[in-house]
Amino acid sequence: MKIVNVETFLVPPRWLFCRVETDEGVVGWGEPVVEGRAEAVRAAVHVLAEYLVGQDPLRIEDHWQVMANGGFYRGGPVLSSALAGLDQALWDIAGKTYGVPVHALLGGPVRDRVRMYAWVGGDDPSELADSITERIEAGFSAVKMNVGGLLPPLATMADVTAMVDRAAQAREVLGPDRDFAVDFHGRISAADARRILPLLAPYQPMFAEEPILPDRPHLLRDVVTASSVPVATGERLYSRWDFRPVLDAGVAVVQPDLSHAGGISETRRIAALAEVWDAKLAPHCPLGPIALAASLQVAFSTPNFLIQEHSIGIHYNEEADLLDYVVDPEVFRFVDGHATRSDAPGLGVQVDEAAVRRADETGHAWRNPVWRRADGGLAEW
């Protein structure tokens, strides 16, 4: 079997899909994207496709090595995401070729269902309670929320109080048997993180995500030890080497993104590395159906898995949603807040190719907002 063609599709709301075709008619799908930089990843995919076309798709690890390490310049979001999507597509092809789900190729399932969390609210603190109640009624036992929006360089007492109130309100609605996680989006400084996390601790969030920016792992240990709140990070880290320093700093939860961190192959290795530090895996996935399907394959086969993110109904998905691109949306119907294991071959999702081709004709030019403070200076989004 040989790879004969690699195509990419820029689809709303902000995604990029790739389709890898073989001479035996087996087709694999992947989702190589960096949100806001999809066109750059698209170009990188086509550079890697020069190598892939003509190759045997079943030599996944060898291709991973060449695509990751065969170029003198390597790593970073664009190249690692291009590699990630192609890696997903190769695993999809392998599963379909052998007639088994990818999790069977990864050693078989270690659990029967996968706990999911749902997003609540966007950056607007209003209506938090209603939003959480809706998710509980939909069956979820865990939610994640932003705690603060546009913030000054050092948070004011009012900013901090608002964050603490939000956590208190979430806990009150959820009760002691459900979980909430808080996402800081790297919006606060290390000094603020050390100040704020202990104040959130009484409400026992499941984890605090990206309390500081990912490029300062040297400050993370002090943030971790400042409170009892488990610290999570990793959606902006791209390899096992990127994860080593944050694990050393004591993070409790690693959040590689299956579409950024070298795909299924590298995420599995990051999970195994995390086990050495007793850290749990919670794959980042505010993306489309292929990225979610790939995440679930890893979740079903990875012992130190914690919980899975998904983007259905997330605030980013305004023009299109995850279910618009799948033939059978049932695969993403969660029961009691859990994804159900399926024996469908490959990634286990049937992509609606006609819908994808149609969507690509429109494409998108999604960019994240650029936030500025009252003084005109740039703020973290």
Q: How far is the CB of 231 from Mg ion (least distance, A)?
A: 12
Tell me the per-residue interface mask from 206 to 245 with Mg ion, x by CB under 5 A, - otherwise.
---x------------------------------------
Structure tokens belonging to residue 367: 């960019």
Q: Which of 63, 103, 260, 284 is catalytic?
A: 284
Q: What angle do CA 81, 247, 106 make, to 5 degrees?
A: 55
DSSP 298-367: HHHH-TTB--EE--TT-TT-SS--GGGGBS-GGGG--BTTEEEP---SBTS--B-HHHHHHHHHH-----
Min CB(143)–Mg ion separation in Å? 13
Is residue 158 within 8 A of residue 193, CB to CB? The reply is no
> Is residue 321 involved in binding Mg ion (CB under 5 A)?
no
Active site residue 364: no
Q: Which of 63, 103, 185, 364 is catalytic?
A: 185
CB of 255 to Mg ion, least distance (A): 7
DSSP 244-291: HHHHHTT-SEE--BTTTSSHHHHHHHHHHHHHHTTPEE--B--S-HHH
**Residue range at the interface with Mg ion (CB under 5 A); choices 182-190, 194-202, 261-269, 361-369:** 182-190
Looking at the Cβ atoms of 354 and 370, the one nearer to Mg ion is 370
- Is 185 among the catalytic positions? yes
Single residue of 183, 192, 242, 321 touching Mg ion by CB under 5 A = 183
Asked if 35 interacts with Mg ion (CB under 5 A), we say no
CB of 209 to Mg ion, least distance (A): 5
Q: In sequence order, which residues have a C-beta less than 8 Å from that of residue 35 and are 6 or more positions away?
A: 14, 286, 287, 316, 366, 368
Crossing angle for the helix pair 263-276 and 289-301, to the nearest 10 degrees: 40
Amino acid at 265: S
Range in contact with Mg ion (rule: CB under 5 A) among 108-116, 126-134, 168-176, 203-211? 203-211
Q: Which residue is nearest to Mg ion (CB)?
A: 183
Residue 185 Cβ vs Mg ion, minimum distance, rounded to whole Å: 6
Catalytic residues: 185, 284
Return residues touching Mg ion (CB under 5 A): 183, 209
